[in-house]
Amino acid sequence: MKVGIITSSKISYIAEGSKKSEKEVKSILNEIAKIVVKNNLEIVITPDKNSPLEYFGKEYKKLKGKKIYEVLPLDDKEFGYKEWVNTNLGETINCGTWRNQPEKTAEFSDFLLCVGYGLGAIIEMGYTKWFKKPVVIEELVSGKLPIEFEKSINARYISFKNLDKELKRLK
């Protein structure tokens, strides 16, 4: 089973939104990585350098996680990717261009796990409207999504402490 990990581009943004310190955010991300590894899940990420996804990917790898897939825009001539994405964490899934990245992440993942709000994460969750429900870790977000958005995607909000139970339910 593949879980798409989605979040903000900066740990400081998650900390500010969740009213936690960066150290607390990293601690929760570490615990989530342990739970994902324990459940033998593969992860799908697009890890910008110095981002929460790169941090999570490295932690998952250090814990000997099963497999990392990186969704990368290998054909993108408009923006490129090499200068800001860590391309050395796992197997590459080519999404063509950045415009296709949110859709490919949602498509390639069995479900999305939101570990912090960010513009990209909101876009990626939007792509779940027709076929998947995202799971949002309550401790790492500022609150529930706006009701207009919520009605379309039907996200599940859980504590990271209940993630193991949630993963078993999803399998």
pLDDT tens digit sequence for 128-159: 887 788 999 999 999 999 999 988 898 999 99
> Angle formed by the axes of helices 101-108 and 119-126, to 10°?
60
pLDDT tens digit sequence for 81-113: 999 999 999 999 999 999 999 999 999 999 999
Mean pLDDT of the chain: 96
| pLDDT score of 160 | 98
Q: In a 3-state reduction of DSSP, which class is residue 127?
A: coil
Mean pLDDT value of segment 34-38: 98
> pTM score, two decimals?
0.96
Domain 2-170, CATH: 3.40.50.450
